[in-house]
Amino acid sequence: MTDQVLVPTSADEAVSLYGSGEGLTVFAGGTILLPEIATGKLRPERALMLHKAGLDTIRTENGRTVIGAMVPVAALVDHPIDLLAQTARHVADAEVRRNATVGGNICAPPGPDAQRGDLAAPLMALGARVRSAGAGGERTEPIEDFLAGDRSGRLVLEVELDDVERRTAAAGLRRRHAHSYAVAAVVGAVRVDGSDLRLAAAGVAPTAVRLRAVEESRDAGDVLRDVQPVDDAVASAAYRSSILPKLVREVLDRLELK
Amino acid sequence: MKLIVNGIEQDVASPPLTPLLHVLRDELDITSPKAGCQQGGCGTCTVLVDGEPRRSCLTALAAVDGAEITTLEGLGGPDSLSPVQAAFYNHYAAQCGFCTPGMILAASHLIESHGRPLERDEVLEGLSGHYCRCTGYVKIVDAVLAASRGEATEIEDLPVAVPGEPEVQPKGSPA
């Protein structure tokens, strides 16, 4: 049984209790952790529960949208940022989305059978930054850098996006099943003047991946230079490699880049 | 920690990271939430937390300390069925019955939050996380649609088992 369960009642208290994160299991919505704890696969000695720490609001300030780590995925389903709303609607089902959180979705490691964390791809395409705390203090960095770095000692506090008008597009493949993880998903965003194209893929590798080679060349075939698809129970690497360029082409077409 | 379950305040002693499902079933003996897959995938453990359906297997006790929990027992009993319960009865929407509590709670919230009669597609989407392994979906969806239209739900011959007396045959069952 867990020896110590910490329930901070503010973001500052959460950050100070988290410290460097050493020996601490962060518990957000619990959709991944709780079944592992209940079945004894995971036995956290100390748990930090964030449900009373604030961090659960979406606010707009100084031309930015700031999404707290504890905002439930359900709250994004009707969000005006269409690319986020569209992706959120595909995360599990309405009930699971009430527990699942934005911070948890970003931090979700790949499962035993499938890749997880669909929200990171649209956040990448929209140029989101992650504000996190941990040893060395707080820092804010592009979500692709956060995901590529060592996240084990970081506590995600917020995600922020600049409110810039963009055209967005998404193309994905999933099984007809509410709880099926994506076979592959590609999202893209570009400013209305055609600049700042950002593309990302989810469901094909352990984290979402930004497709920089394609952004540069605008050639869908380059996607396999950006990402090495993996095998899992949802799809084979070979299949993902064959459909990814098609999904990228669809997104590029829909973004009307000429 | 404290829960208000079906209107009754309960002090609970389970550890903070116990799934709400096990607090309800094992500590409070409330057995309508079913322990199905216990990883969020099947919907049989669904209860209302402050009026909204959630998976009790994915919800830690500490995260709902002080919350109002409604289980199927809180919707209505044999002589006071809720409209959705009555519609399930009238439309033969329960086969083995294992998924029924979760289905009814989710459907009740779906109907209430929708504010107008549901379309079939909306019911399918709204209940997409709930599995009926008897595959009795057609009758379940029919029942939810009927309840959302506010169809008459008078039940005159609901069989109620009385201890010591022979069990009443359900309506429409073979003699």
Spatial neighbors of B87 by CB under 8 A, at least 6 apart, are B93, B143, B144, B146, B147, B151, B153
CB contact under 8 A, A95 and B59: no
Q: How large is the average pLDDT for residues A230-251?
A: 96
- Residue A230 in any domain: the answer is yes
- Residue A153 in any domain: the answer is no
Q: What is the DSSP letter of B25?
A: I
Each residue of B60-110: pLDDT tens digit? Answer: 999 999 999 999 999 998 888 999 999 999 999 999 999 999 999 999 999
- Residue A19 in any domain: the answer is no
Please list, residue by residue across A9-47, b when 16 or more beta carbons sit within 10 angstroms of its beta carbon and e when fewer do. Answer: eebeebbeebeebeebbbbbbbbbbbbebbeeebebeeb
Q: What is the DSSP letter of B26?
A: I
Task: For chain B, give every domain's residue range.
Answer: 2-75, 83-148
Query: In Å, how far is B110's CA from the nearest CA of chain A?
Result: 10
Judging by beta carbons within 10 Å of its beta carbon (0-12, 13-18, 19+), is residue A124 exposed, middle or buried?
buried
Domain with A248 in it: 167-254
Spatial neighbors of B30 by CB under 8 A, at least 6 apart, are B5, B6, B24, B71, B73
Q: Report whether CATH 3.10.20.30 matches the domain B2-75.
A: yes
| Prediction ipTM score | 0.92
- With a cut of 60, say whether residue A179 has pLDDT above it: yes
Q: How large is the average pLDDT for residues B149-153?
A: 81
Q: How many domains does chain A have?
A: 1
Q: How many helices (H) and strands (E) does chain A have?
A: 10, 12
Instruction: Using DSSP bridges, classify how beta strands A64-68 and A139-142 pair: parallel, antiparallel or unpaired.
Output: unpaired
Same topology between domain B2-75 and domain B83-148: no
Single-letter amino acid, residue A249: R
Contact B35, B57 (CB under 8 A): yes
pTM (two decimals): 0.91
Each residue of A203-225: pLDDT tens digit? Answer: 999 999 999 999 999 999 999 99
CB contact under 8 A, B19 and A39: no
Interface of B with A (CB under 8 A): 15-19, 22, 38-41, 43, 46, 52-55, 57-60, 62-63, 106, 126, 128-129
- Residue A152 in any domain: the answer is no
CB contact under 8 A, B54 and A7: no
- Residue A216 in any domain: the answer is yes
CB contact under 8 A, A1 and B15: yes
Spatial neighbors of A232 by CB under 8 A, at least 6 apart, are A110, A113, A114, A115
Structure tokens at B11: 């002090």
| CATH number of the domain bearing residue A243 | 3.30.390.50
Q: Which range (A2-16, A159-173, B43-57, B144-158) has the least confidence? A: B144-158
**Chain B interface, best mutation among A32, A95, A179, by max B CB count within 10 A:** A95
- Residue A9 in any domain: the answer is no
User: For chain A, what is the mean pLDDT?
Assistant: 94
The chain B residue lying nearest A176, using CA atoms, is B128
The pLDDT assigned to A32 comes to 94
- With a cut of 90, say whether residue B173 has pLDDT above it: no
CB contact under 8 A, B129 and A29: no
- Residue A232 in any domain: the answer is yes
Each residue of B60-72: pLDDT tens digit? Answer: 999 999 999 999 9
Contacts of B54 in chain A (CB under 8 A): 95, 98-99
Residue A212 vs residues A34, A224, A256, B87: alpha-carbon distances, Å:
36, 11, 18, 55
Contacts of A30 in chain B (CB under 8 A): 58-60, 63
Whole-angstrom distance, CA of residue A197 vs CA of residue A191: 7
Q: How confident is the model at residue B175 (pLDDT cuts 50, 70, 90)?
A: very low
Each residue of A124-135: pLDDT tens digit? Answer: 999 999 999 999
Whole-angstrom distance, CA of residue A6 vs CA of residue A26: 10
Q: Report whether CATH 1.20.1090.10 matches the domain B83-148.
A: no
